Amino acid sequence: MNNLQKEVYYVDKRILDIIRNDFDLVDKKDWYELYQSKSDASYWRLDSWDKYQQRFFLKLDSKRNWTKFDGNELMMNLLLETRGVSDELCVWKDCKNPALNALAYCVYHAYGEIGIRK
Ligand SMILES: [Zn+2]
């Protein structure tokens, strides 16, 4: 049982321990590693190690085209869930979305334009 209820996680020591204990490495390609859960056979993708980039571990629908899976929506939702929103509006021109906590931008502009991941 791997206890991963969500479909995307920031990679930290806890996640790396879970991967080591509960997953099998299936493939490695294009800066990604493909893992399969020992408990439910689901496929997950891990970003290869990079000291400048936040790494993610995310659940895939299948292993078909696994390196091409678009994880942006999952990663954006994780950013939103982790930060939460404030009472301020995003400062991007004409944007009416709430800004993320401790940031001047909403999740779309923080993620898409500024490149914030966490
Ligand atoms: Zn915005």
- Cα–ligand 1 centroid distance for 12 (angstroms): 28
Average pLDDT over residues 67-84: 97
Domain segments of the chain: what residues? Answer: 8-65, 73-114
CA of 87 to the centre of ligand 1 (A): 13
Q: How far is the CA of 63 from the centre of ligand 1 (A)?
A: 34
* pLDDT digits 0-9 by tens, 16-72: 999 999 999 999 999 999 999 999 999 999 999 988 889 999 999 999 999 999 999
Please give the pLDDT value at position 117: 95
Per-residue model confidence (pLDDT) at position 34: 98
**pLDDT at res. 1:** 54
Reply yes or no on whether the pLDDT at 2 is more than 80.
Answer: no
pTM as predicted = 0.91
Q: What is the 3-state secondary structure (H, E, C) of the chain?
A: CCCCCCCEEECCHHHHHHHHHHEEEEEEECCEEEEEECCCCCEEEEECCCCCCCCEEEECCCCCCCCCCCCHHHHHHHHHHHHCEEEEECCCCCCCCEEECCCCCCHHHHHHHHCCCC
